[in-house]
Amino acid sequence: MSEQQVEAQIDVWRAAILKGRAVNDTDADELEGHLREQISDLESVGLSGDEAFLIAVRRLGQVDVISSEYAQEHGDRLWKQLAVPSDDDGRRRAMTAMFVFAILAAVLVQVARFCAQIPGTNASWLLRDASFFVLPVLAAYFAVVKRMPWRRTLALGLVVVLLAVAVNLFPLARGGSSEVLIGIHLPIVLWFVVGASYLGGDLRWSARRMDFIRFTGEWVIYFTLIALGGGVLMSLTAAILSPIAPDSIGQVYIWVVPSGAAGAIIVAAWLVESKKSVVENLAPVLTAIFTPLFGVMLVAAAVVYTIGGIARDFDRDLLTVFDLLLLVVLGLVVYGLSARDRTRSAGAMDVIRLVAVVAAVVLDILILVSMFARVGEFGLTGNRVAALGLNFILLVNLAVTAWLTARLVAGRVPPTRIERWQTGYLPVFVGWVLIVVLALPPLFSFA
Amino acid sequence: MNIDKDLVAAMATPLVLAILAEGASYGYAILKRVRELSGGDVEWTDGMLYPLLHRLERLGYVSTEWGVSPEGRRRRNYEITEAGVAQLAEQRKQWATANRTLGGLWGTNFAVAGA
């Protein structure tokens, strides 16, 4: 056996020992040095390279036994930690910026609260405009960290200002449905602004948009986790304060909860970015768990609705429920795609996804048909148009997704085709939320 | 003669510390010395030595530094520390006690032969 073959065998062995993560590079160097010394000692007493390698490896012990021994001593290595950046300049800058912008968001929310308390003003604008005090701060944070060009930053800022002016110039009826609709859709518009700055203003590429979708999923998870921690903190605070100063609990809540939530929005965004390479993405993991479960639920519901029929009039609440359902299904599709290996051909997960999507589409069409069959004299209101429009947009998206997934399973189209469809559809969502915020209120006379 | 696994494990720490007390060394040489001393009776899976050395380093009994072997490879050298010397003395006392106790039953020759 030649020298080269022994070298190749040593490489294979080294790769195997590094695989378990308990053994790091310097340990592997140490073990490899040991192995080589043993081999040359054995060769010097007359063994061939091949024989020497076999004996040396055997003496060193089985790879998995060594790995588990290292794992006992270095258990921490199996848990990847988020190290506070010290040497890496870019990451440190991001952390400083994160602190500054998180504090800024926290303070702005309190300023807004004070403005809303000024006597004689109508305080309902606060709920409607709340997102203006937080999400543009997040967009600015990304503009700074990602070094977005000035011109694009200014353009994006201008968009935010125009939106703010337009929405606040509307003579909205207090507590009317237009105001509620704006309150719900404005954060979504602004989230797309955040997306634009997250991508550094470069929105053209499908792969970049997919990054923003991935970011959104992870951000939701981190924010939820922080919110859970915050909930525990707040309830314990209340429990501790209640015996000594029960009156102060309300004050503490007013100060801490809005500011904490605003700051957490920035912190969660920073966490997603800095843990990107450290932790497995969670959104695709959750998607993998829930896609089959939702698939079963949707198929069962579709069967029941088909057999039983639906005796409901046009009902905005029911439509809203189905909007949410379709949104969830879309989320399952998108995050399933985001983790999909683009080079792999269709697998069982794609079939499950196809079943779930088809069931959702069938169910939604059943609902829409039965509602419209009984429409009679329903008039259009802002709320109804918003719910119906969203339903239509989601239905089109999912119907095409189902078609493409079926072709993927049949081996006719590559996986990237569905990804491009989803990322290409994002502007439709942007357009629709803009219509709801800017066009629907005037159309329905700001009711 | 094959020595019981548990006994080898119990011997490991004092053995390694005692070898290092003779002078700084590195993994492969430590194992060679173990074989030499026991005449091959103490069978040790070579790979287990390193996690043990790392544990001794974490406990502060040995210190390490990277050097270069004659062939020009990176090599980690281990040196016993003061805490390591103290630990070795302590372990030695324990082994002497064990020796004496068993020797009382098995005859005085045992202690001499084992020393």
- pLDDT for residue A82: 56
CA A97 to chain centre: 21
Interval A308-333 mean pLDDT: 79
Indicate yes or no: CB of B27 within 8 angstroms of CB of A30: yes
Interior CA angle at B44 toward A76 and B103, to 5°? 110
On chain A, the residues whose CB falls within 8 A of the CB of B50 are 27, 30-31, 34, 70
Specify which of A14-23, A69-78, A412-421 reaches the highest per-range mean pLDDT.
A412-421
Integer CA distances (angstroms), A239 to A256, A261, A343, in order: 15, 20, 54
Overall size of chain B counted in residues: 115
On chain B, the residues whose CB falls within 8 A of the CB of A29 are 74
- Please compute, for residue A374, the number of CA atoms within 13 A of its CA located in the half-sphere on the CB side: 12
**Residues A1 and A34 sit within 8 Å (Cβ to Cβ):** no
- Compute the nearest-CA separation of A39 from chain B (Å): 11
- Nearest CB among A59, A60, A72 relative to B51 is that of A72
Residue A46 has pLDDT above 80, yes or no: yes
- Compute the nearest-CA separation of A69 from chain B (Å): 6
* Residue of higher predicted confidence among B97 and A367: B97
- pLDDT for residue A401: 93
Indicate yes or no: CB of B27 within 8 angstroms of CB of A73: no
Give the residue from chain A lying closest to B55, CA to CA: A73
On chain A, the residues whose CB falls within 8 A of the CB of B73 are 33, 36
**Alpha-helical runs (H) found in A275-415:** 282-308, 316-338, 348-373, 382-409
pLDDT-derived band of residue A84, with 50, 70 and 90 as boundaries?
low
- Nearest CB among B27, B51, B74 relative to A69 is that of B51
User: Is residue B25 classed as helix, strand or coil in its secondary structure?
Assistant: strand
Residue B93 has pLDDT above 90, yes or no: yes
- pLDDT for residue A281: 75
Interval B19-42 mean pLDDT: 87
- Compute the nearest-CA separation of A63 from chain B (Å): 9
Torsion of CA A357, A358, A362, A363, to 10 degrees: -40
Q: Are strands B62-68 and B25-26 parallel, antiparallel or unpaired?
A: unpaired
**Distance between CA atoms of A368 and B36, rounded to whole angstroms?**
86
pLDDT (tens digit per residue) in B32-55 = 898 888 887 777 788 888 989 998
Give the residue from chain A lying closest to B27, CA to CA: A34
Residue B114 has pLDDT above 70, yes or no: no
Torsion of CA A57, A58, A61, A65, to 10 degrees: 100
- Compute the nearest-CA separation of A60 from chain B (Å): 4
**Residues B58 and A74 sit within 8 Å (Cβ to Cβ):** no
Give the residue from chain A lying closest to B44, CA to CA: A59
pLDDT (tens digit per residue) in A389-412 = 888 899 999 999 999 999 988 888
**Distance between CA atoms of B48 and B35, rounded to whole angstroms?**
15
Give the residue from chain B lying closest to A39, CA to CA: B28
Indicate yes or no: CB of B27 within 8 angstroms of CB of A69: no
Contact map slice: B 1-20 vs A, CB within 8 A: none
Indicate yes or no: CB of A73 within 8 angstroms of CB of B46: no
ipTM score: 0.83
pLDDT (tens digit per residue) in A300-311 = 988 888 887 766
- Compute the nearest-CA separation of B26 from chain A (Å): 9
Segment holding B65, helix H or strand E: strand B62-68
Residue A136 has pLDDT above 60, yes or no: yes
Phi, psi at residue B21, to the nearest 5°? -65, -20
- Nearest CB among A31, A36, A38 relative to B50 is that of A31
Interface test with B, best of A62, A69, A77 (most B CBs within 10 A): A69
Least confident of A226-230, A260-264, A347-351, B75-79: A347-351
- Nearest CB among B31, B50, B55 relative to A27 is that of B50
- Compute the nearest-CA separation of B56 from chain A (Å): 10
Phi, psi at residue A82, to the nearest 5°? -90, 100
Interface test with A, best of B25, B46, B48, B78 (most A CBs within 10 A): B46
Interval B8-31 mean pLDDT: 90
**Residues A142 and A198 sit within 8 Å (Cβ to Cβ):** yes
% of residues, chain A, pLDDT over 70? 90
